[in-house]
Amino acid sequence: MWDVIEAPILWQGAWVTVQLTLYSAALAFALAFPFGLAGISRHAWVRAIGRFYVEVFRGLPALVLMFWFFYSLPLAGLRLETLFAGVAALGLNYGAYGAEVVRGALKAVPKTQFEAAVALNLRPAQRVRRVLLPQAVPLMLPTFGNQLVELMKATAIVSLISISDLMFRAQQLRSSTGEGAAVFLVILVMYFVIAQAMLLLVRYLERRSERTLGRVRAEGAAR
């Protein structure tokens, strides 16, 4: 068991898993906010674009999407790096779920807050940045935390296109040592530890955002 725990290739694989999670999460969040904002737009064509993205990529399995990027695009002359194919598939898929989280949180902000921003003659971008988002972000964070953990666990599929993540390295170690039970027990614990570290970060951000929201509301009441 200790030989498995101390195996360098598992720790290398864990680092690749963390990197994949961070890159995919960054792409997912970068997509979630503009498409979530599109979902509450006053313009029907903007809402239609947001809905199209959400419905398409929320309805596609990340695994099939990754295979399509990695195996099908080269047939059209476009070859993607394995890491990019994995990040793109996961980011596009989870970005669609995140867009719905953003849209729902923005719609949950009381309408009176939006009306107050209009009364203060704030421009649309200012209304979003200074009024809606500060109140919506604390509502988003718990769900984003869950999605981040789900995204981290979903990175295990990238081993199928030979990215040397934790799962891929575990399969290598199992083949070379024959200690399948010990190897998979160790990586279960490693995935759990990574998930808990991410949840601790999200909870810290939740506390920070709640304190900020308290100040925003206090300033609004003072006015």
Mean pLDDT across the chain, nearest whole number? 86
Say whether pLDDT at 163 is over 80. Answer: yes
Neighbours of 11 (CB within 10 A): 14
What angle is formed at CA 34 by the lines to CA 125 and CA 194, rounded to 5 degrees?
120
pTM of this structure: 0.85
CA atoms of 217 and 118, how far apart (whole Å)? 17
CB 20 within 8 Å of CB 156: no
CA atoms of 129 and 133, how far apart (whole Å)? 6
Range from 18-32, 88-102, 202-216 carrying the lowest mean pLDDT: 202-216
Say whether pLDDT at 217 is over 90. Answer: no
Class of domain 2-222: mainly alpha
pLDDT in tens, 180-198: 788 889 899 999 999 999 9
pLDDT in tens, 50-107: 999 999 999 999 999 999 999 988 888 888 888 999 999 999 999 999 999 999 998 8
CB 169 within 8 Å of CB 10: yes
Which ranges constitute the DSSP H helices of 109-179? 111-119, 124-126, 133-154, 166-177
pLDDT in tens, 44-54: 999 999 999 99
Range from 4-18, 148-162, 186-200 carrying the lowest mean pLDDT: 4-18
Give the 3-state secondary structure of 144-162.
HHHHHHHHHHHHHHHHHHC
